Amino acid sequence: MAVVDTSTDVTGIGGTIEVEVGAMAHGGHCVARHEGRVVFVRHAVPGEKVRVTLTEAEEGARFWRGDVVEVLRPSEFRRIHQWKLADMLRAHASGRPPVGGAEFGHIVVPHQRRLKAQVFRDTVHRIADLAVEPGVCFAGSEDEPTGQRWRTRNAFAVTPQGHIAMHAYRSATLLPVRNMPLGVPALDALALWDWDFTGAARVDVATPASGSRPLVLVTPTPQTRVDEVKLGRLRTRIRQAANACGVDVSTGLALPGPKQFLPVKVERITGKTWVEETVESERGGTKRFRVTGDGFWQVHQHAPATLVDAVLEDARVEPGQVVADLYGGAGLFSAYLADAVGPEGRVYSVEASRRASKDARRNLHEQPQASVLNGPTDKVLGSWLKYPERPVADGGLGGAALDTVVLDPPRAGAGRRAIERILALEPGRIVYVSCDPASFARDLAWLRDGGYEVERARVVDLYPDTHHLESVTALVPAAQSAPTAAVVEI
C-alpha cells in the first residue's frame, strides 16, 4: 500500500488528512468527517481508518472530496483491486490518477451488494421518507465472485495519438488502456488497443453476449468530420484494422446530426450497422433482438434475461390485459409482455428515440398485439388522457383502461409530468425499473402521494465492481397493498 507521512494533517487541495470512514453514499463515496466538515471519500470501505488526499477542499465549501492513498486500518471486506489501472493505492504510488469506472473493485463482491442495498435503502428513506428493505440478487444463474467479464457495452475516449483510453474520475486526463477486465472476453479478442483511431473522439463497442458479430462504432472529432481527407483516412484505418484483427467484426462511423437533438447517423464501414442480441428468459423463453448502432441495451451479459424475469414476475400480466411499456427502447420488455397478454390483449411500447422505435417495430413485427409509439413519454400519456377513445390503430387506448404500466426511464428518472399522467391513468399495477436510486426515490414520493404503495422492491447487481445499481419495484394502489408490510423481501 502507498506510504504517506501520517504525522500532520495538511488541508487544501493536494493536502492529506486522516479520517474514520462512515457509511457509503450514493455515487460511490463514503461519508467521513474532518473537524466537523463532511468529506466524501472514494476508494474506501465503511469502518476503515484511512489517509485521504483532498481533491476538492475550498475553505468555505460545505463539503470536501478526497481519495484514499493509505489504509491505516483495513476493513475485513477489502481485497486487492481487480484492475491495476483503477486501483487508487497503486495509482497514487505511481504518481498518476486511476481510471474511473471500477470504484468498488477493492471490495469483495458480496459486500459490494450489501453496500448497494444500504445505499438504496438510505436514499429512498431520505428522499421518499419510506422505510424499504429490498431483496438483493445478481444477474444470471451463476454468481461472478470476481466481478469481472460481464460488460457487453463499452465506451472509450481516444488520445491524440489514436489510442483508446479512459478518463480519470472527474477529470479530462486520458489514460491509455490495454485491457478492460469488466468487459466480456470478446472485447479483448478485438485488441482495440492496437488499432489506430487517430482523428476519432470516441469508440463505442457492442459485443453481444450470444457471441454474434460485434460492432465497433467510431465517433470522429469535430475537426475530422469537416475534413473529407481526414475522414477518409480514418475510414481506411478502421477498415484495415477490422480486416486484420482476425475477428468477424462490424465497424462504422457515428456522425452527429447538424443540430443537437437530431439522431446520430451511422455510416457502415464493414459488416452491419446493428447487432443481434439473444435473450434466454426462464419465464418467457428465448427471443432475438436487433439493436442498431449505439442504441440502448442493458450492459451486463445476463441483465436482459434477469430483468425480463423480474418484470414478468412483478407485472403479473394475464391474457387480454392492456399494458404500457414506457421508455421501451428496442422492445425488450414489450416482446415478453406481448406474449403474456396474448392475441386478445394489447401492449404499447413507448419510446422517444426514432432509431430505437424502428428497432422495436422490427423486433415486435410478429406480435400484432404490440404497438410501437414513437414520442416523448409524457406527451403520449397526455394524448391518452386527452383522447381516451382514440382508436388503437391511431395509437390510442380505444377506450380501454391500463391494467399495468412498466417503466424503465433513463438515469434522470421519469419526472413529475410523466408520473402525474401515469397516476391519472390509474393503472392496477406499476413496475418501475431504475438505474438511479435518487431519481427513483423522487418519483416514488410522487407515486405514493398519488395513492400507490410499494409491494416489493429488489436491488439487482448488474454492475459488479462499480457503485451503480439497478432496482425493480412493484407498486399497487394503497387499497390493494398488504396491511402488515409495504415490502416483501426476497
Q: Annotated catalytic sites, by residue? A: 435
Handedness of CA 442, 404, 310, 479 (dihedral sign): positive
Helix (H, G, I), strand (E, B) or coil at 63: strand
Select from 100, 294, 289 the least CA-distant residue to 204. Answer: 294
List the strands of the sheet with 452-461, edge to edge: 135-138, 452-461, 470-477, 429-434, 404-407, 322-326, 346-351, 370-374
Handedness of CA 377, 380, 383, 387 (dihedral sign): negative
Instruction: Pick out the residues of the known binding site.
Output: 298, 327, 351, 408
CA-CA distance, 101 to 97, in Å (whole number)?
13
Residue 458 identity (one-letter amino acid): R
Instruction: Pick out the residues of the known binding site for S-adenosyl-L-methionine.
Output: 298, 327, 351, 408
C-alpha cell recorded at residue 118: 444500504
Bridge partners (DSSP) listed for residue 203 = 156, 218
Instruction: Show the DSSP H helices in 129-267 as ranges.
Output: 185-190, 222-225, 228-244
Output the CA–CA distances (angstroms, integers) from residue 451 to 97, 107, 292, 386, in the order listed: 48, 39, 39, 22
C-alpha cell recorded at residue 375: 414520442
Q: Are 46 and 75 in contact (CB under 8 A)?
A: yes
Bridge partners (DSSP) listed for residue 300 = 151
CA-CA distance, 94 to 27, in Å (whole number)?
26
Torsions phi, psi of 374, nearest 5? -95, 120
CA-CA distance, 29 to 32, in Å (whole number)?
9
Residue 455 identity (one-letter amino acid): E
Torsions phi, psi of 225, nearest 5? -60, -35
Residue 2 identity (one-letter amino acid): A
**DSSP 8-state symbol, 137:** E
Q: Are 68 and 50 in contact (CB under 8 A)?
A: yes
